[in-house]
Amino acid sequence: MIFGLDALSLILILICAILALYIKDLMGSVIVFGAYSFLMCVVWTCNAAVDVAFTEAAVGAGVGTVFLVSTIYNTRRVDTYRKNRVLKQLFMFLVVCVVGSILLKTITDLPHWGDAQAPANTHVSAYFLENSIADTHVPNVVTSVLADYRGFDTMFETCVVFVAFIAIFALLRTRKIPAKDLTPPHTPVDSLIIKVASHLMIPFMQLFALYVVAHGHYSPGGGFQGGVILGASLILLAISYDFERALEYLNEKKIILFVALGVLIYAGIGVICFFLGGNFLDYSVLSKILPATDTIMARSHAMLGVEVGVALTVMVSMYGIYLCLSSNGRMDKGI
Amino acid sequence: MIILAIALIVLGLFFFFGTSIGILRLPDFYSRAHAAGKADTLSTILIILGCALFHLHQAHYDLASFHVMAKLFVIIGFVFIGSPTATHAIMDAASAAGVEHWQKKKDKK
């Protein structure tokens, strides 16, 4: 933690947050919000939380911005909410002041940064840090906590991504073209430079994403980050060519199939443990069916399987959400 | 080596400075994007190159530091492809949306 860099990025974050609320042009607001996410990523890196920084960079600054831009593309660009609502604004200001002062009052009770005696560091996390290698043979404790010790949490996080995709798909997907087309006129991208450049980038992106998924035990990364990068590579394909080209690789049926398959892989590994005589998601019993593994390596291998499931769900749902949002649910053409 | 690294980083910062002046001072959208696209790419590449040399010096030229340098070179490659392409895409979209070119006042009439 470098104090100067931390202070600078926190000040810039505050400026970005205020600016994002203040700007009336929503497109500008989204861009500022992307900058905000990137600065958060810098703060996480300064605090040595590289896994979180990775996720923030991929989701917040990358895919999230694309989602917001494609939503604005299909709705309205200018914020008209704040007209003639002085009384409401005053009330909200009052509420914010009261709640903020209560929160500020409690700041003095919080433990210091990195305090070893803080409640968060005295219960289970000490056990995780000390026994991760002995229990699971995984040096990156974040992955072992995420996928093994707290496997239930991560399974339902994956389910949240799944449900978000299903909700967006069910709300937006439509087959009929409305009589009055509200979307702005579509100009297809027809630039050789963009196509060649994306052709050069996409294979490396996907290779890197697979590395992030598979190497998540040893270095920062894992299913969520790798899945988002894979999804981003597909989104890049859909942006730089058109939807037809992207849907050739992964069409609508496969999208729905894979998004469910990812959750199924995760829950399926848990259920297999169940049948082998252990608890749900107790990976150590998998050594009975995995060849040449003891109970420790079985936990490590099962984590990889679980990460693959997470990556599959996240990749396909990011891609599907983008297709739905940017084409207003028609899945024919978008940004 | 360390002098070379510092020189590269300072040169990169100089071009970044030029970029920010260009974005603030140039008259229309296209010239501003041109300043942002070109000088920004060059300065990023110079700074990463300087960092790579600095790391090499710091780690006393062992094998692992060459590994880090190779990774930084890959990043340079991606910046070299990605940044000008992004600028091109923005310019292309602007021209499709009909943003006017800047002209000198006497040519306008």
Please answer yes or no on whether A201 and B82 come within 8 Å at the CB atom. Answer: yes
pLDDT confidence of residue A156:
93
Q: Kindly list the distances between the CA atom of residue A25 and the CA atoms of A33, A56, A89, A169, B79, in Å, as whole numbers in the listed order.
A: 12, 24, 19, 27, 29
Quick one: pLDDT at residue A194? 87
- Smallest CA–CA separation between B81 and chain A, in Å? 6
On the question of pLDDT at A3 being above 80, the answer is: yes
What pLDDT is recorded for position B26? 87
Between A127-141, A264-278, A306-320, B40-54, the lowest mean confidence (pLDDT) is in: A127-141
Q: What integer pLDDT is reported at residue A159 of this predicted model? A: 94
pLDDT at position A282 is: 84
Which pLDDT score, from 0 to 100, does residue B106 have? 62
Task: Assign A113 a pLDDT band (cuts: 50, 70, 90).
Answer: confident
Contacts of A205 in chain B (CB under 8 A): none
Instruction: Please state which CATH class domain A1-105 belongs to.
Output: mainly alpha
Q: Which pLDDT does position A223 carry in this prediction?
A: 86
How far is Cα B61 from Cα B65, in angstroms, rounded to an integer? 6
Q: B-chain residues within 8 Å CB-CB of A194?
A: 85, 88-89, 92
Phi and psi of A25, rounded to 5°?
-75, 115
Mean pLDDT of A96-111: 91
- Does A189 sit within 8 Å of B92, measured CB to CB? yes
Q: What are the Cα distances from residue B103, in Å, to B24, B27, B31, B47?
A: 18, 9, 11, 35
Size of interface A-B (CB pairs under 8 A): 21
Specify the higher pLDDT residue, B66 or A98: A98
Decide: residue A166, CB within 10 A, 0-12 exposed, 13-18 middle, 19+ buried. middle
**Average pLDDT over all residues of chain A:** 86
* A89-99: average pLDDT: 92
pLDDT at A1 over 70: no
**Quick one: pLDDT at residue A105?**
92
Burial of A121 (0-12, 13-18, 19+ CB in 10 A): middle
Q: Given phi > 0 = left and psi -120 to 50 = alpha, else beta, which region is A260?
A: alpha
Determine whether the interchain pair B81/A197 forms a contact, defined as Cβ–Cβ distance below 8 Å: yes
Q: How confident is the model at residue B44, as a pLDDT?
A: 93
pLDDT at A36 > cutoff 90: yes
- Start and end residues for every CATH 1.20.120.1200 domain found in chain A: 1-105
Span B48-65, average pLDDT: 87
Predicted pLDDT of residue A234? 92
Say if residue B22's pLDDT is above 60: yes
CA–CA gap between residue A139 and residue B95 (Å, rounded): 51
Average pLDDT over residues A107-120: 81
Tell me the pLDDT band of B109, cut-offs 50, 70 and 90.
very low
Residue A30 near residue A67 (C-beta atoms within 8 A): no
For residues B11-40, give the mean pLDDT. Answer: 90
Q: What integer is the mean pLDDT of A136-162?
A: 89
Q: Is the pLDDT of residue B90 over 90?
A: no
B14 vs A74, more confident? B14
Is the pLDDT at A82 greater than 80? The verdict is no
**pLDDT for residue A41:** 92
Structural tokens at position A268 = 């399926």
> In this complex, do A194 and B85 lie within 8 Å of one another by their Cβ atoms?
yes
Q: What is the pLDDT of residue A84?
A: 65
From chain B, pick out residues whose CB is under 8 angstroms from the CB of A187: 96
Among the listed residues A4, A16, A10, the one whose alpha carbon sits nearest the alpha carbon of residue A42:
A10
Give residue limits of the domains in chain B: 2-108
* pLDDT score of B2: 87
Chain B interface, best mutation among A27, A200, A239, by max B CB count within 10 A:
A200
For A17, half-sphere exposure in the C-beta direction (CA atoms, 13 angstrom radius) is 8
